[in-house]
Structure 1
Amino acid sequence: MTDTVKIPQIFSRSRRRLVRDRAFARTQGASMLEQLMADEILERLALVKRDFSRCLIIGLPSMLLKEKLRAQDIAVCVADSSHRLSTFHGGVQCDEDRLPFADHSFDLILNLGSLDTVNDLPGALLLARRILIPDGLFLACFCGAESLSILRSVILEAEGDRVAPHIHPQIDVRTAGDLMARAALALPVADGDTLYLRYSDLAGLLRDVRDLGGSNILEGRVKPISRSIYRKIHRKFQERADQDGKVTETVELIYLSGWAPHANQPKPARRGSGQVSLKTALSGNQDN
């Protein structure tokens, strides 16, 4: 965010751009997980009783998402680190923690599938808050820490005592909520949804991971998986198959929502001001 703070570079910015370029070249925003994220974001947005006029989409937007927003007379700008994606949408190529927009430029920001690979995530959330108008809405979705447990375990088993990093560390719901509060986004909410996806082979799972820009983008030298190790991973993956010959993999989607602060927003009640205990509220018996 600033020259005075040294932000650890967990992810290679150049490698991230290349991976996202390749992902968009394959899918153009039409991969399964991208569509699921877009559908859920639209459903959540439909619950908000507000009219929006200027939206920034960050990440891998499906064409359906843009069309639905424009049908509501919302002007849409797209930003992403991918040159292919940003050029295709007539948008801006940039990283989430280096957004080049003026303060109060948008009343709605949607971020799909990219916050888990940002070097300065607190800075990215702070920038999002700054470029929102007061009482503007921020909605985001990304893969959380409970994702890809099968893939992680079979890679560890196959590599044995020569384990190299292949899948980047991810964020859990609690941490995501804390970061929203740290960015001073008002009324922050973080929640998760677990998907159980069934694959008949390892290639199908890896394809979905790559299509979401989930290839290895960690900073430093990338150690490729050798053919012999890949064969072990494939074999161990197939050993997890059920009677139908398919493996069930878990993908956790974390959803975030928050508002740019505004004087007229409702305020949370003062701690200790409640008149009914949590136990009583949960029991449904509030008689004195």
Structure 2
Amino acid sequence: MASTPPPRIFSRRRRIAGLRRARVRQSQRDAARYILQDMVEDVLERLEFMRLSPATALVIGDWTGTLALSLRGLGVEVAEADVATLDEEQPLPGSPYDLIVSLASLDRVNDLPGALLHLRGALGDGGILIASVVGAGSLANLRTAMIASEPDRPAARMHPLIDNAAASALLQRALFRRQVVDGRSLSVSYGSLDRLVSDLRDQGLGNSLASPAPPLGKAALERARAAFLRSANAKGRVVETFEILTLTGWKD
């Protein structure tokens, strides 16, 4: 009996195009990069806490190169994978690894269970996967603004995001021996909706939906901007929260 292919929610072509544009934007001094910086710092803290000393590691999605540089400083042989060329829904090259780190990447693949299976397959016995994603609960003010922009018939403009329970179930389904999923919040303040959108594009986190809605018209965009600012504090800043989920799994 043939298996049913996963639904096509995301466009790999649009995702890669957004990442390439983000790298161009990163040449600007004030380009946002706080999501990835937070994830890199968290991974390094986890490795230190676990006293993990892998001989080989694969780093996926860190376009800053910071994590690979830090690991090499610890004597780790590191391979780096560019998500603009690596297809995470296919077997990974160069395995096995003692450690695989995936940053802000797995939340935009259509076959997430399959991707996790491929990551597990690329680990050696006793290897560990650490994957950080932007999780459910993120960008509540942006979601509210998008709904307000088209009150009669809101279009799908935001990515579906996984929560803690779903992430744990996915790791178990991918046959990891032990699974730990934990979340933390990263709060950032914005003076306008446009600045938030610009920051997301700086970090390659723009819309990658396979069936994107048409751009907002002028009136709809103004409604979105106004709805976003209704959540502003006394200083006129809107505090937006990113929930960062970290999935950790061990292979037998």
Range class of TM-score, shorter chain: over 0.9
Shift in Å, 1:186:
1.6
RMSD of aligned residue pairs (Cα, Å): 1.8
Of 68-77 and 215-224, deviating more is 215-224
How far apart are the structure 1 equivalents of 2:54 and 2:4? Answer: 35
Identical residues among aligned pairs (%): 36
Q: Supply the AA of the counterpart residue of 2:15.
A: R
How far apart are the structure 1 equivalents of 2:230 and 2:237? Answer: 10
Shift in Å, 1:54:
1.5
Shift in Å, 1:74:
1.3
Give the aligned partner of residue 117 of structure 1.
Answer: 108
Q: Supply the AA of the counterpart residue of 2:51.
A: K
Please say if residues 61 and 82 of structure 2, whose CA atoms lie closer than 8 Å, have aligned partners that are also in contact: yes
1:101 aligns with 2:93: yes
Of 32-41 and 210-219, deviating more is 210-219
Please say if residues 199 and 246 of structure 1, whose CA atoms lie closer than 8 Å, have aligned partners that are also in contact: yes
Shift in Å, 1:76:
1.8
1:100-159 deviation per Cα after TM superposition (whole angstroms, max 9, x unaligned): 425x42111000011111111001111111010000110011110100000001110121
How far apart are the structure 1 equivalents of 2:43 and 2:202? Answer: 19
Unaligned runs of 5+ in 2: none
How far apart are the structure 1 equivalents of 2:124 and 2:4? Answer: 26
Please say if residues 158 and 207 of structure 2, whose CA atoms lie closer than 8 Å, have aligned partners that are also in contact: yes
How far apart are the structure 2 equivalents of 1:70 and 1:30? Answer: 26
Q: Supply the AA of the counterpart residue of 1:14.
A: R
Q: Supply the AA of the counterpart residue of 1:21.
A: R
Please say if residues 38 and 62 of structure 1, whose CA atoms lie closer than 8 Å, have aligned partners that are also in contact: no
Q: Supply the AA of the counterpart residue of 2:183.
A: G
From 167, 181, 192, the counterpart of 1:201: 192
Please say if residues 92 and 118 of structure 2, whose CA atoms lie closer than 8 Å, have aligned partners that are also in contact: no
Q: Supply the AA of the counterpart residue of 2:109.
A: V
Give the aligned partner of residue 276 of structure 1.
Answer: none
Give the aligned partner of residue 26 of structure 1.
Answer: 25
Please say if residues 32 and 208 of structure 1, whose CA atoms lie closer than 8 Å, have aligned partners that are also in contact: no
How far apart are the structure 1 equivalents of 2:204 and 2:42? Answer: 19
Unaligned runs of 5+ in 1: 83-92, 262-288
How far apart are the structure 1 equivalents of 2:154 and 2:62? Answer: 31
Q: Supply the AA of the counterpart residue of 2:5.
A: K
1:189 aligns with 2:190: no
Shift in Å, 1:201:
1.6
Kindly report structure 1 stretches of 4+ aligned residues shifted beyond 3 Å.
none
How far apart are the structure 2 equivalents of 1:165 and 1:96? Answer: 25
How far apart are the structure 1 equivalents of 2:116 and 2:234? Answer: 45
